[in-house]
Structure 1
Amino acid sequence: MEIAVVGNSEFILGFRLAGVEKTYPAESVDQLTELVTKVMSDSEVGILVLKGEDMQKLSVRLRTTLSESVRPTVIAIGGEEGGLSMRERIKRSVGVDLWK
C-alpha cells in the first residue's frame, strides 16, 4: 500500500522530502480533478492526501466519492475535512478504533 499526494508544488514538497514517491503537482482545478481521478483508480494507493482547500475546489460529486472512499482512504489536511474526523477515517479504513 502506497501513499499518494496531490496538490500544488509547495504542498507536495514536504512529502517528497519525506520519501513519498507518488506526488502529483496540480496547479489548476482541472489538473487537480484529473490527478485525483487517476490516483483513485490506482490499486497500489491506499492513502490519498489532499490539502483541505483543494478538496473544497473539487466538484460535489467527486468530493462525495472521496469522502465515502475506503480504499484509498482520503485525508484532507487543513480546512474542512468533509465531516469525518481523522479518527473516523482510520477506523473505517482499518476496521478498528485504534484510540480504544
Structure 2
Amino acid sequence: MKLVIVGNEEECLGFSLAGVEGVIVEDDSMFVEQMQQLFSDHEIGVIAIADRYFSIFSERFSPVIEKRAVPAVVFIPSMDGTHHKSSLKEYLASILGIRL
C-alpha cells in the first residue's frame, strides 16, 4: 500500500524528501480530477490532503469514502495556514463516525 500527498508544489516537495509520492493540484477542478483517479488506484492505502480542500472533499467525496475502508483519507494543515474550521474534537468525531 502506498501513501500519497495531495497539495501544492511546496507541500508535495516536503513529503517527497521522505519518499512519499506527491500529487500536485493547482485548483479545485484539478483536485476533483486527481481524487477520482486516486480512488480508482487500488495500490493506494492512505491519501493525505492539504486541508484547503476539506470542503470540496466533503461535498464531492464523503459518500464515496463512507462506503470504503481503503484508502484512508487524512487532512494535514496547509502551508498557507489552516483552512479546516472545526475543532479537533469535531474533526475526529467525523472521521471515526462516533460522538466524542
TM-score (norm: length of structure 2): 0.71
Equivalent residue for 1:45? 44
Equivalent residue for 2:92? 85
Number of aligned positions between the proteins: 86
Indicate the RMSD between aligned Cα atoms, in angstroms. 2.5
Equivalent residue for 1:10? 10
Report the secondary structure of 2:4's partner residue. Answer: strand
Taking structure 1 as reference, are residues 24 and 54 closer, same or farther at Cα in structure 2, changes over 3 Å only?
same
Report the secondary structure of 1:37's partner residue. Answer: helix
Which 4+ residue blocks in structure 1 deviate beyond 6 angstroms?
Answer: none
Taking structure 1 as reference, are residues 33 and 16 closer, same or farther at Cα in structure 2, changes over 3 Å only?
same
Q: Once the 2 structures are TM-superposed, how far is the Cα of residue 64 of structure 1 from its aligned partner?
A: 4.0
Q: Deviations over 1:35-56 (max 9, x none)?
A: 0111111000000010111122
Taking structure 1 as reference, are residues 81 and 75 closer, same or farther at Cα in structure 2, changes over 3 Å only?
farther
Taking structure 1 as reference, are residues 63 and 9 closer, same or farther at Cα in structure 2, changes over 3 Å only?
farther
What is the alpha-carbon distance in structure 2 between the residues aligned to residue 30 and residue 36 of structure 1?
10
Q: Once the 2 structures are TM-superposed, how far is the Cα of residue 84 of structure 1 from its aligned partner?
A: 4.3
Worse-matched range after superposition: 9-18 or 42-51: 9-18
What is the alpha-carbon distance in structure 2 between the residues aligned to residue 71 and residue 55 of structure 1?
18
In the alignment, structure 2 segments of 5+ residues that lack a partner are: none
